Chain A
Amino acid sequence: MPPLSWLTWLSAVLPVVVLLVLMVRFRWSGGKAGAVAWFVALLVARFLYGMDWPFAALASLKGLWSTVFVLYIIWGAMAMYYLVHLTGATEMMTATFSRLTAGNRLLQLLVLGWVFSSFIQGVLGFGMPVAIVGPLLMNLGFPAPLAVATVLIGHSWAVTFGSLGASFSMLQRLSGLPTAQLGFYAGIFIGLCAYLVGFSICHLYGGWKGVREGLGAVLVIATSLALVANVMANTVPQVGSFVAGLVTLGLLGVLLTRTTWQKRTAAPTSVVAAEGASAPVGGGRRMGFHLAFAPYYALIAVVLGVYLTPLKDLLGSYTVGIPFPRAATAFGAVSEATAAYAPIKVLTAPGTMIFVSVLLGYLIYSLAGVWRRGAGRALAAGVVAHAVPATVTLLTMSMMAAVMTDSGMLRLLATGLARVTGRAYALVAPLVGVLGAFMTGSNTNSNLLFTGFQVEIARLLGLSTVIVCAMQTAGGTIGTMLCPMNVALGTSTCGIIGQEGRIIRRTLVYGVVQALTIGLVGYALIALAG
């Protein structure tokens, strides 16, 4: 890295500022803004960070390769969306969810956008909640921007202990800290995030009036999620979000079907027909809720069947990754040689699970006679039309992030932050996690980038390494609601491509409030720990 100075620090932040200004202020699409930001990052890296052109090419290729995994999910999720949409199953689901929640719109947002998306995050992650639940909410009649923002916020708390613990495992492995201690503090921060997420969704839906209306529901749901996640964080952190989501869904199932709780939590404001246990579908046949939901049942079955059984290890041995040579900048920022960069476990990748579920869903719909002849062409056309803009967005943004990471810009940004704040660093430690997730689109990658750095800084400043690392992953989890890659995933699957800036404007406030709250609580815990 070049020496830390105002010039180098401000130049490191420039690509991010350009990206945000173009998307938020000028309402450019993610692809267009990402393209310009990549050029800016390239020039800064070349002329101020000593990155030669071959290294810049290598970094950009690494960025491109890392999108393959996410694009696989996007194309699959879009196929799932069109499969369900074209049979008319969405109308059926809309009617059922509407009836179950007595038409209470806020409760629908909380149950689907928060609890259901947390459950999906628990087993799959990697943007799946956004890709699956966003369109589902939209089909329930919610405006697409609200649907996307809700799921982005709703699933975020579950990221650290989601994806079968990928982010937490990365944190633990790189910090070398005891799992029990790390799980304890991470559980506290993540539990706190669960409450904040619930209130954020209520506020997003109806301002402070929404918070008052949803208070009861949020307290019940968040307590269940946080409690179970904390118990699991101290025992089997890998399934923390999955078990928390499952238990809470079960609890809500009981509460919603056997009580009139939903009517008491808020005034019903139904805009969707609440009647009917069946609905007409494209093929002229009528289907029940379980048939309509079949592709999602298939997805849950496939995921559980693979991830929670020995099949995971058996199938997970087939990986595809590409080798990259070593490269270094003139200032010594090194990208080590790797035999298989960002390997993809082809048979257990979330994209594969979705495509298998789409196939199973298609077979079930066909056997039940609800799949129209010729609908396959409409499905393919819809998928291509929506996947291309999302693809170019991801390509440009991940190239920019990779150039920033490999040139040392990201590390210099964090170092500058630590230098300025001193012992008050604890207050901003989560922001480093947020930054990592914002740039890379993943809590796991944020932990990969910054865990070592956080440990280093904590030791240097005499702070608790365990608490600082727990704040790192909490920041990373919050950052997933803001990162352009997830936002682009949401806008593409909900058909509002080009509105990424609008979505980020909505989630940014809640993300910052959550990060600052975690910072304050962490600062207090460090002070108490002495």
Chain B
Amino acid sequence: MAESPLTGARENLKERLSAPVLTWVSFLFVVAFSVTYVGLARRGSFLTELGLGFIALLTALIAYFG
């Protein structure tokens, strides 16, 4: 089946965004790591779950753009 123009445009956009998004994701892992680590250090802090959620979000971006 032929690719629709909309799908083609979306794929093009995804391809163009891929490199900058992955670069930012790589650096943001440092922030996610820090937030989660602070949460772990202060046992029971909500920052642990927040940090894990942040890591999950970054990983989902890798799954999409990678």
Contacts and interface: CB of A to CB of B under 8 A. Distances in A.
A binds B: yes
Contact of B48 (A32, A39, A57): A57
B26 A35 contact: no
Contact of B43 (A28, A324, A325, A396): A325
A64 interface: yes
Interface class of chain B by DSSP: helix
Contacts of A399: 55, 59
Chain A, interface residues (CB within 8 Å), range: 20 to 34
Contacts of B41: 325
A208 interface: no
B26 A32 contact: no
A363 interface: no
Interface in B16-66: 19, 22-23, 25-26, 29, 33, 36-37, 39-41, 43, 48-49, 51-52, 55-56, 59-60, 62-63, 66
Contacts of B40: 54, 57-58, 61, 324-325
A56 interface: yes
Contact of B63 (A32, A42, A65): A32
Nearest to A30: B66
B49 A53 contact: yes
A54 B49 CA distance: 7
Contacts of B19: 385, 388
Contacts of A61: 33, 36-37, 40
Interface size class of B (residues with CB under 8 A): 20 to 34
B59 A38 contact: yes
A190 to B, nearest CB: 36
A256 interface: no
Contact of B62 (A31, A64, A385): A31
A392 B43 contact: no
A489 to B, nearest CB: 16
Nearest to B20: A388
Contacts of A389: 22, 66
Interface of A: 28-29, 31-32, 34-36, 38-39, 42, 53-54, 56-58, 60-61, 64-65, 322, 324-325, 384-385, 388-389, 391-393, 395-396, 399
Interface of B: 19, 22-23, 25-26, 29, 33, 36-37, 39-41, 43, 48-49, 51-52, 55-56, 59-60, 62-63, 66
